[in-house]
Each structure stands twice: as C-alpha cells, then as structure tokens.
Structure 1
C-alpha cells in the first residue's frame, strides 16, 4: 500500500489515503464534516474519479461495443442515433476501442458508410445472418443482415412486430460476438429496442443500459434495468423525473443521469457549409444578419428588422404542439416573424398545422414560414438566422436542439423539464443555479404547460430583444462560448464503463 492522495477536510488538514500499489484511480465522495455527517458531494452520483499520480497502475484501455438500432447519419429517427455516434466518437477520441452493431436496414444511407464490405455470415435461430463491416463518422461499424427480411421493410420503426425484429437483432448481436470471439469489456445497449442485449449471454462483459425515452417499452426497460450493471438516462433532471417509475424504482441505485452533448464538428457556425457566411462569437452580428437575409429570401419573409422565433421539431404531443401554435400567434402579434421546420406523423395533427400555416400567412403576410419536411441544410440556416429558439416540450429526456441553437447564437425559450432544465438557465431567475454549474444564465424558461407559462417566457425574450440590443448582443456572444460538447459527458460514461466492470 502507498499514500497516493491527500483528502482535504473543511479545516484544510491533509490526510493520506492508502491505495494498492497497482491502483490507477480511486473513487471519492467528499463530505463537509467528519464521521459521515453533513453534506455529501458525490459528483451527481458519479463519484469523483481521481487519478493516482505516480502509481504503477494505468487505466486499462476499454473495448466498448454499442448495440443500437439507430446511428446518425445513416439510420436516424430521433436523438438516440445522434448519441450513439457522437458518444462513440468522443470515447474513441479518449483512446478507447469502440464498435457499433446495427441492423442492416434497406433504408440505410450508404453514401455515409465508408469501406463497406461483406465479412462472412453465421447462423442464429436457424437463420443465416450476413455480416458487413464499414466505418461511419470514423467509427468501426458492423451491420447484421438476417435472411429472414426483418430489416427489409422500407423503414426503421413502425411495424407491428418491431419487438420481434429488434429482439432477434439483439440475440444475433450477442451471437456475433461469440462466434467471432469478439470480447468487449462493456456492452452498451440503448433503449427498449436493445434491452434484450442486457439479459442475454454477454460472456462476462459489463453492461451499461441507456434509457433515451421511458415513454416506450417500459416492460423491456424494466427487464434491462434488472439485468444491467449500470443504467443511465440522458440528463440528471430526467433521471429524477423517472425515478418513481415501476421500471426504475427497484433498481434506482444503478441509475445515473448524464446529459447528452452535441457534435461540435457537425454543428459549427464557423465552418458550416450551409450558411452564407461562417461566423463565431466575435462576428456573430454580421454572420447572423447574413443568415437572416438568406432565410427570409428562401421562405418569402419580409426583410425587416424584427426578431425571428423558430421551432425545429417533430410535431407530436410530447413537443408541446398546443404551445407551438400559441407561440406562432403571440410572436406575430408582437411584431416578430415565426419559422417552423418539421412534420407530424399523425395525419390529423399535420392537417391542423397545414391549416395554421394558411391562417398565419393570410393574417400576417410575409411574416410566417412553416416548412413541413425535414431539410438538413435548411435546419442549419434556421439555427443561424433565428433570434429565439422555442422548445416547449411536455417532457424532454434531454433535447439537443436547444444546445445547437446556443452554439449558433440563438437564445432558447424552453419549458423547465428534463434536459432542458439542465442546459437552459433563466436570465431573470437562475443566476445561482447557473453559477453552480459553472455557467451564466443563457435563456428564458417557464414551468407550466399552459399558454400563460409560455407567454411569460416568450414575452420576456421578445421584450429583451426590442428594448436592449446591447444586452442581447452580449447574450448571444455568451451562449456561443458555452461548452455543450460531448467532452464532459464522455468522461462520465467512461467512469461508468469502469464501474460496470466492478459489479
């Protein structure tokens, strides 16, 4: 044993901590009083992983295999696909080995897959499964293509037998690891679709299970919670919000909340090829002005000096569609312009928004632009051109759009739920909470799910834009410098990967 670290108490005395000779790190929880009394700081449940300086041991390089049914940009429906790719890249950048296993859908964007080749096959449940290898965004990616046609459906989700299809994929993924003698240290499974990978034969690997949205597949999530070594969800606030769920509560000691990040290579206004002018905090006024001019040209909006309030979202109940409709009218009533990019999978909801577009355009000509399709280049332009970005979700496990908006100097107006609460700190009410996170206030927020709450936040944002342009410019520069990358979240996940090996 050797004295490798000093623990500081409130009186600033230094005491040695004995650690094994081969230790490379120790996990600590700090307290402000001796004897286990007083306030405990456990780094939000993650503990503090402190390296042992001068120790003989070195942190082992990990081999992490993600089992996932989405992966951006090749097979993306929601935020899970972004997380799988961006987290994998961030962990790989820290020197660890990462591989992603995904189904070989017939709708994959193969233009985004590098060096795709077939690499033999194996049998699982009397079905031949072809193995394909390639790279996606620099990540080694293995595609499994069963001959039973489970993934030749012209879509990723939406079939009545999705649970059967994805259950087969998880079993095939574990069988692939076995027959190819791939021995990961950690298997990282994502949401209900990959839950069966947690209780299958992992051949001694640790298991981390991430819940992206508890609103779907609760029974499968409950089984995964029982079987995994460590569970996460995608923000600290969402972890607290779901802690009472029957799927989570019996296994709460396994649960950690780590906010998602954004890929700052993809979302970078200083190098964005979709913008008429690249910009950073130092020249945001010129860059955003150029983007506004181009967005107004594309959507047929008047080129006048008024604020642009935007929404980029799927039009589903979770996203607060009644509040989005209300915000459109409120923005226009207060002299602004309103832009929406998104579509509704429910035909009835889409019909309502088609009617809303017609009413807005008729009542306020050249002031509203609603585009009902996903358009990647247009989304970049909207983030850059807007002054305010609205996210009024009823619930939001993490949310990425508010962080992307800030990266582009657009001020978020959000409902305080899930990851929105962890990333947006109200200008008027959250100075202390922001300081505790090492930040300054960066947006406007509200709590209730009614239109009065929305009005409270949106009206304050619009009034600030109209009344104090110097303050607004300073706020824009501030939010652009805040770090919402994957760097810190990746370190949290790496700590949990090591933790999963101890169980």
Structure 2
C-alpha cells in the first residue's frame, strides 16, 4: 500500500472548472478502491460545495499570515481532504483562477505559491498528523512549485507531476521570485526560469521524479514544437521520466442503462431503443422529429482549439445533406454569433444552445447518432469516451487522447471487431468534411453501423484501469 498526497487546485464535486477536477475527484477514489491510502490537499475557496463536517487540524504562520489546515471528506467517499485556509487569498466568490470578467486574479502567483508551500509542509508531516506520504502527486501549474521545493529536502517523498494541458503554464514576472520567498538556487534555466519569467509548471517538469500526462499520444505530441509551447526541449530531455496514461471516465454518471437524464435507457442488446432519445432530443431543441436522418451532436467550448471554426466552415455544405445538427456550448463571441445566425436561418437543420446544461448534455450523448470532436489538440478528452458508451459514433481528429481512444472504421477494423468511430488526420475543414461524408455513407449501412455501436459500447474506460497504470508508476519511484 502506498500513502499518496494528491495536490490539486480543484476537485469535483467540491469545485470544477474543467477536466482537472474530474481527474482529481475520480482518480483518488479509484486508487482507494485498490487499497491505497490517499489524501487530497487543495485551497479552501469560498465557492467550495462542502457537505460534510469541516474542522481545523493544524494552524501555522507563514509569511506573517495565519494559515489553518482544515479537514473534511470528498463527498460520497471516505477520501480525506485537507483544505488550505487563508481567507486573504482564497475567500473570493466564483472561479478559483479568474474574476467574473474572466481576468486572472492579480495575486495568483502569491495564492498558488502559498498553496505549494503548505503542501510541502504537509508532505513532510510537519502538521502533526503522523502521516508521511510515499508519493506526492501534483497536477498542473498551480502545484508546480511542490516538486521544486521538495527537491531541496534531504528526506522527502517521491514526486509525480501530471500535465493536464500544457497550454496553461503559470508564467509570472521574474521579480516575483523575491516576493514569493522562493529559494534562489531554484532560479536558473534548468530550474524555474523560462525566458526570464518565473514558470510554475517548470517546477514540476524539471524536478518531479516522474512526469505523466493524460494520454500516450499527447505525451509524444508535447515533445514537438507544435504542442510543446517552448517546453518541448525540456520534455524531450526528460522523456525517460514521461508517461502517458489515458484518463478514465465516471462510468456510473455516464451509463446509458442507468442514466436518469434520458427518457429511454438502453444497452448494446437494446440499441433499437436509442431512437426514443433521439426523438426526445429533437423535441427538446425544436428540430423536426425524424428517425431516419443522422443527427450530429457537439458539446464543447467554442474556441479554435476545439475546431469550431472548421465546423462552421463545413456547415453550409452540411446543410445541403440530409442531416440535423445540435450544439451545446459557449466561448468565443464571434463563433457564438455565427452559430446562432446559422440556426436562425435553418431552424429545421440546426439547433444551438449557448451555455452548459447537464441534462441536455446527457440527452445529446444518448440521442445523437454522430458526435463531432474535430479538435486541433486534445490532451485527453472525455466526450469521445462518453459517446462510445452511449453507442453514439465519435468523429474525431487524430490527436492526443482522441487518437488513443477511438479506432477508425475500415474494412479491417470492422472485421476484427475494433471499429468504434471515424478518425481524420489534417486540421482543416476539407478533411473534416470528407469524414462527415464518410459517416453519412456508413450510417446508411445498418449492419456495419450497429457493429460499430456495439464495439464502442463494449470498451473499458473505467478509472480502475487508469489507477492501475498510476500504481505501476508509483511502484517504480523511490524517494
């Protein structure tokens, strides 16, 4: 059994802005089910959705500030959660990283440097809990200073640093080194310095005993200039310590047999019942009820990374085909306006809902025939895995976790029972449109289509599989 301190800036269901929270809420639970002793540490934000008892287990002063370590549990689990309580830094409403206008909090460097320092104090068992972790597992830039600070300690736990999205690096002015009281020996090009900026993420990449990221393909991609954001050289240098492990998904929440959000539950043996969810979806978003035309679904942030511009370029030609398109998402205002204009002009073909709605998201996964994910890059991705569990065929670009979780449909993959989606290579509208046309041809071959659905629904995307891979990583590490 390993004792694991899981350091994260968010964890579902306590607080969530993205995929990091899903991982932080699920992986510790999966590790605990494999008999590991896991504790989570995160900041005590004002917006946390706390349900259980919260009590103070330790108080200390750091930089002349009173800090309390509070203890609670991850909801619906026995996982202990330690909350770093410093009202001056964390008692703000809403998002952990940005204000209501989407601007980063001006003191983010101070907020997360303090969080890292307290995590190190806890990792060295200086809070009187008589609990010394074997592994300190850090996640994304907000916890990047932890491996760097621990590297200066004589007796320390082993460190793992997981990259969820390398695009976010925690870059601050070099002058913050002094105000944050970061030891000077960490300030060099091999350490925290990045083009004369202070880089939090480099603390993890340069000093962690092992680096992981959220899919094997993304682990390769971030070693290239196209995906490395200037850190590809460091990642190539550390490639022996770099491992890609695909994220799991919550298979209780996303399960067509038990989903409370959808009107008709079904499984691989009762796929004929899926059409009732299609009808319900068409009704809900105001599209004509038609069980014969393929219904494309898309749930996404409306940003270039997700390939929304490519979808917009394809939609005029898609409108000439027998199909319908339903979209749920928000993001770039220009994309939002263009999508709304297309939907208003073509109400029998396109339905757009801006924002996010959990119930509608589940209904799209269950009711759509084809799910579009033409991402330019996608470290892991979740919706392509949700889609396969619901027998909704994902149409994806070959990148990151999409490449690792969707098997393209060909004569060979149909024959060997692995075909589970449609994959295209180039990040342009022409390649996407060709894949869309291919999906329409396959849709009208009922036997092949059903085989693809059955293959997809049989795939194992549970967290247990991912947790076992993390255990293999932990087992190789010696502090």
Normalised TM-score (structure 2): 0.85
Q: Are 1:126 and 2:126 counterparts?
A: no
Residues 137-183 of structure 1 deviation map (CA, whole Å, 9 limit, x = unaligned): 41322221213233425321222332331121111222234223431
Q: State yes or no: 1:77 paired with 2:17.
A: yes
Change (3 A) 1:153 1:194: same
Deviation at 1:89, TM superposition (A): 1.2
In 2, Cα distance between the equivalents of 1:468 and 1:366?
25
CA drift at 1:118? 4.0
Matched, 1:355 2:307: no
Output the CA distance in 2 between the equivalents of 1:276 and 1:247.
Answer: 50
Higher mean alpha-carbon deviation, 130-139 vs 226-235, is at: 130-139
Aligned to 1:272: 259
Does structure 1 residue 308 correspond to structure 2 residue 295? yes
Matched, 1:497 2:474: yes
Asked whether 1:472 is paired with 2:459, we answer: no
With over 3 angstroms needed to count, the CA separation of the structure-2 counterparts of 1:270 and 1:93, relative to structure 1, is: same
Tell me, what secondary structure is at the counterpart of 1:128?
A: strand
Which of 99, 102, 105 is the matching residue for 2:39? 99
| Residue of structure 2 in register with 1:36 after alignment | none
Structure 1 residue matching 2:89: 3-state secondary structure: coil
- Label 1:381 to 1:103 Cα distance change in 2 as closer, same or farther (>3 A): same
8 Å contact kept, 1:285–1:473: no
Partner of 1:383: 365
Asked if 2 retains the 8 angstrom alpha-carbon contact of 1:409 and 1:479, the reply is yes
Instruction: Deviation per CA, 1:36-81: give whole Å up to 9, x if none.
Output: xxxxxxxxxxxxxxxxxxxxxxxxx111111000111221111111
Shift of 1:382: 0.8
User: Are 1:329 and 1:360, in contact at CA under 8 Å, matched by a contact in 2?
Assistant: no
Query: Could you list the runs of 5+ residues in structure 2 that have no partner in the other structure?
Result: 99-103, 171-198, 225-231
* 1:416–1:475 distance in 2 versus 1, CA, 3 Å: same
Equivalent residues of 1:416, 1:447 under 8 A apart: yes
1:383, distance to aligned residue in structure 2 (A): 0.5
Q: Does 1:398 pair with 2:380?
A: yes
2:136 to 178, 182, 187: 187
Q: Does 1:425 align with 2:407?
A: yes
- Aligned 8 A contact 2:52 2:72 in 1: yes
Residue 3 of structure 1 is matched in structure 2 by none
Tell me if the contact between 2:27 and 2:463 (Cα under 8 Å) persists in the aligned partners: yes
- The answer as to 2:163 corresponding to 1:211 is yes
Following superposition, the deviation at residue 125 of structure 1 comes to 2.3
* Cα distance in 2, alignment partners of residues 132 and 429 from structure 1: 57
Gaps of 5+ in 1: 1-60
**1:179-199, CA deviations, whole angstroms, 9 ceiling, x for partnerless residues?**
234311110000111111112
Q: 1:456 aligns with which of 434, 437, 443?
A: 434
Offset of 1:221 from its aligned partner? 2.5
Aligned residue for 2:212, secondary structure, equals strand
1:221 maps to 201
| Contact kept in structure 2, 1:409 and 1:476, CA below 8 Å | yes
| Residue of structure 2 equivalent to 1:108 | 48
**Mapped contact 1:328–1:338 kept (Cα < 8 A):** no
Q: What is the alpha-carbon distance in structure 2 between the residues aligned to residue 117 and residue 323 of structure 1?
A: 50
Q: 1:496 to 1:312 in 2, by over 3 A?
A: same
- Following the alignment from structure 2 to structure 1, what is the Cα–Cα distance between the partners of residues 127 and 405? 43
Distance 1:327 1:103 in 2: 43
Aligned to 1:150: 90
Please name the residue that 1:298 is paired with: 284
Cα distance change of structure 1 residues 167 and 424 upon mapping to structure 2, 3 Å threshold: same
Alpha-carbon distance in structure 2 between the residues aligned to 1:211 and 1:429: 36
Compute the displacement of 1:99 (Å): 1.0
Contact 2:288 2:348 in 1 (8 A): yes
* Aligned mates of 1:373, 1:108 — CA distance in 2: 21
Q: For each residue in 1:344-372, what CA deviation from the matched residue of structure 2 results, as whole angstroms up to 9, or x when unmatched? A: 0xxxx22432232222332x223211111
Q: Distance in 1 between matches of 2:122 and 2:410?
A: 54
CA–CA separation in structure 2 for the residues paired with 1:260 and 1:430: 27
Q: Distance in 2 between matches of 1:256 and 1:226?
A: 15
Distance of 1:431 and 1:109 partners within structure 2: 45
2:81 is the alignment partner of 1:141: yes
Q: Distance in 1 between matches of 2:327 and 2:262?
A: 18
Secondary structure at the counterpart of residue 288 of structure 2: coil
Contact 1:221–1:247, Cα closer than 8 Å, also in 2: no
Q: Distance in 1 between matches of 2:249 and 2:298?
A: 18
How big is the shift at 1:430?
A: 7.1
Partner in structure 1 of residue 114 of structure 2:
168
CA–CA separation in structure 2 for the residues paired with 1:256 and 1:430:
29
- 1:333 deviation in Å? 2.4
Contact 1:128–1:147 (CA under 8 A) maintained in structure 2:
no
Q: Any idea what the Cα deviations from partners look like across 1:265-315, whole Å, max 9, x if unmatched?
A: 1111111111112211111221x2221122122111111121111111111
Q: What is the CA distance between 1:102 and its match in structure 2? A: 1.1
